[in-house]
Chain A
């Protein structure tokens, strides 16, 4: 027993220990479940497909099987424009979904943030309530809603008929895919926007009004710039999952609605080409990183404004 502890030493050590105890689990979690799998995917993207699916070994197994590392998977991707075209299409769908989510979510988030305090929790609860039921069931519900014999399709085609236009199919179309994507991801846009808008000081708007700004100017010069962090985080939360989504195009899409998520899923579950699926995943990750970098660069603080 070494007598009474010296407070000058124990406190920093205690703080260090606390810091370590608090940060270690999430760090380990990220290392084990994010970094390690990402590295596995990276290595897999340079391997050959295995004989019975999976991956061929890297080292020579000594029985004449294919082994080692190769650039073949990437070469296959770049051998023509076909796969890049799917990337472009997927990014377009993701951008459209994000935009639609933003346009729909902003007024909702604003209304929640402006409603009386004791109502807000209830309203936020209502926004996240759909998560209580399974995602696939909700997407299947859209399949019924958009079906050709349902009220929505009947109404749309009724209006089209008034103008002498041919009836359209809502289900199994790019439109249905967009509806599904927006529906599934809308809460991810509403919540960050709401948490941002809720913090705005109403005094700022009063000041702007006193200085003669009309409603549009108050929004455009005060609320919107202040809400940009919420817009960015909401957009990221929508854009990136939409890029990887394969269930919605599978269920609601028509004959031309293959997205990058479907292509990657097929490599693993359909055609047993894990290395090509891994290469696609790596390229998708790179594309998202480049995009995020560009966005950060575009949004960088400029000068002293």
Chain B
């Protein structure tokens, strides 16, 4: 009894805001749901259902030129929205790019077409640590695309001046550090993400569902909460960029954007980000073939195309996403490639975990704990 994509929504909550989607615009999902793609339109058209802003226009143009076909994209801003649209009967998508736990949901509800690995010579480019995941053992259905890490972004000058550590969750959980940055800290407004950070800090797995441990994590959070400004999934990029907030718990892509924005705005400070040494959440997005897609050949060609280093690197250069492709590294801009928060070393990588879904009973236990956290 579990709903494999339950953890997915919080992971992607930020995208709803930062990829051109207002939080109250859920109704466009319905509009999409009613617009069923008719595959008969063209035999040489690839229907790609992707995150907002999750592929470079140049990449699309190059693929279209090579395959002499057209790529039609539809967009979603969180996994749940995508799953709901498919559940409402949308069909005809050849390719989708869901996060791990949503991949698991799609596999378990038998919506995916197996991958033909013989047609993906470039699959060898994927680093082995991103293959054979728990959500798709043996990669029968999914091919890694890109990833984000949930970490800490911070104002480099302020934190250096205050002499605070930036490599540990202690920064957002320990009152002895927090009292120097009271009211200047935001944490993600997400049950799973915040609990994951607290659980890692306490030395547990993010997927541990032991209630006593959750309660200790709750106590840790409640002790730190008076020092936080807000639970924030929507505006921490801006708050970091203008200097209102000095420390934010958030996603690596967002921190990349905050850093770029602060640079471009010529701020007297810069935004840094790093993965806490205790470990963190890694959200891996993978390409999957939907069962209703009419162009599996073209879809395989697209996957193999995206597995080429140069094409894969383009996305990382655009949004600062993590890249599981070995061959991509040489095309990635130096300042991104050298950033250990985007490309963690083996030591850090070992402590990154992918989120698994909770069964409904655990969800309620966590829900109650979360409500308590929010209220107290």
Give residues in A with beta carbon < 8 Å to B: 48-54, 66, 76, 82-83, 85-86, 89, 134-136, 140, 143, 147-149, 169, 171-172, 247, 250-251, 253-256, 258, 262-263, 266-267, 269-273, 276
Contacts and interface: CB of A to CB of B under 8 A. Distances in A.
Contacts of A263: 371
A49 B230 contact: no
Contacts of B87: 52, 54
Interface residues of B, number: 47
A52 B367 contact: no
B375 A258 contact: yes
B83 A258 contact: no
Contacts of A267: 367
B180 interface: no
Interface in B21-52: 22-24, 26
Contact of B230 (A54, A86, A253, A266): A253
B363 interface: yes
Contacts of A254: 228-230
B228 to A, nearest CB: 5
Interface in B230-248: 230-231, 234-235, 242-244
Contacts of A266: 191, 367, 370
28 contacts: A48-B360, A49-B363, A51-B3, A52-B3, A52-B109, A53-B6, A53-B84, A76-B364, A76-B368, A82-B371, A134-B22, A140-B235, A149-B242, A149-B243, A149-B244, A171-B244, A250-B23, A254-B228, A254-B229, A255-B229, A258-B374, A269-B9, A270-B9, A270-B13, A271-B367, A272-B9, A273-B363, A276-B364
Contacts of A51: 1-3
Given A53-B5, A251-B234, A273 B375 contact: no
Contacts, number: 111
Contacts of A76: 364, 368
Contacts of A136: 22-24
A255 to B, nearest CB: 5
Contacts of A140: 235
Contacts of A250: 23, 189, 234
A171 B183 CA distance: 10
A26 B148 CA distance: 49
Given A52-B83, A251-B235, 17 more contacts: A49-B3, A51-B1, A52-B105, A53-B83, A86-B371, A89-B375, A136-B22, A147-B242, A147-B244, A169-B183, A172-B183, A250-B23, A250-B234, A251-B234, A271-B363, A273-B364, A273-B367
A251 to B, nearest CB: 7
Given A250-B23, A272-B80, A53 B3 contact: yes
A273 to B, nearest CB: 6
Contacts of A143: 235
B142 interface: no
Nearest to A76: B364
A255 B230 contact: yes
Interface in B173-194: 183, 189-191
B144 interface: no
A117 to B, nearest CB: 38
A63 B83 CA distance: 22
A270 B23 contact: no
Contacts of A255: 225-226, 228-231, 374
B234 A86 contact: no
A213 B315 CA distance: 76
Most chain A beta-carbon contacts within 10 A, residue among B83, B189, B230, B234: B230
Contacts of B360: 48-49, 273
A27 to B, nearest CB: 25
A52 B364 contact: no
Given A51-B1, A51-B2, A272-B363, A86 B375 contact: yes
A52 B23 contact: no
B261 to A, nearest CB: 16
A270 B370 CA distance: 12
Contacts of A256: 225, 374-376
A269 B244 contact: no
A82 B375 contact: yes
Interface in B342-362: 360
Contacts of A49: 3, 360, 363
Question: Which 7 A-B residue pairs are closest in the complex by CB-CB distance?
Answer: A258-B374, A172-B230, A272-B6, A172-B229, A49-B360, A53-B3, A52-B3
B4 interface: yes
A139 to B, nearest CB: 11
A172 B185 CA distance: 11
B153 interface: no
Contacts of B231: 255
Nearest to A275: B360
